[in-house]
Structure 1
């Protein structure tokens, strides 16, 4: 019994001695990772020793520890979402010692190209036409393509006749606004004025529009 106990004690002592020797032959890299502007800890930021599989993540206080590093000189790479990756070079590790680092990272400002969004109103919609009439400073009336289609109207002459205040003479393609002379007429196509071919009137023959 005494022999077994003595043998177990010797094994335990041997293991402890070996472990102490191993620890004494390696070093530790420790430190903190913070925002370079505010100084706030970057929780979860990762630090990787380049060329190895060793690394660590920052805790709630921004601190990290990498144990078991063989003596030598290393490069560390720190990364964090929305921050520029940072490489710390010439990090020296000595056996049995701790190398402490203070890492400050800068935000990665991404510049986006200008994006122009253009919205065009559906001028065939009766609701849009009514809304435009309400906004205008003068009295207006419009007839949309959907309304014309619903009423079975397929030409400009019949369409204009649907607008209140418009008169049309029989046998003549021209139209007149009741109460106004023809000199006040103006015809636009896609926003551009169309000159009249009639030397006496400013009207445009509606057959021009098909």
Structure 2
């Protein structure tokens, strides 16, 4: 996904009230509720303030549908089904020969990458988990931003650390612990 191909679809101004953070929110596809951009922006800003470095940054959040996300998931992960959120960290992108990493340099804009969200999957999961769409969406935005910032959940210790950070960020936003039901069942 290139920035030049999607800038025309920008849903809101990118400048955030969070100093130095630029967020492009793009409505690519899907039947997103009107307040979606506000939920996304609020969650992204708070995740960055809590877990990000103290320098200016730019990221793109794409609001899409299951078909769009399924195609990306198949192309980039080899998994032929939609998922709720995909993160494409700029730090994982190969650097052109002789080029500089996109997030090197003191005082330069940090290019975090892209987070892509699938509306139908998020709505279905929210209903199955008895959560509001906005709260579930906010959780997935936080999760995606943490991936852009280098957090992962492949190993148990990493997962515990990432989930604790998610819970702290969401608590600050007034959103209940998204893992509480799993812990009560012993799944986490």
Tell me if TM exceeds 0.5. no
Which of 1 and 2 has greater Rg? 1
Q: Name which structure has the greater RCO, CA cutoff 8 Å, separation 6+.
A: 2
TM-score, reference length from structure 1: 0.19
**Greater helix percent: which structure?**
2
TM-score, reference length from structure 2: 0.21
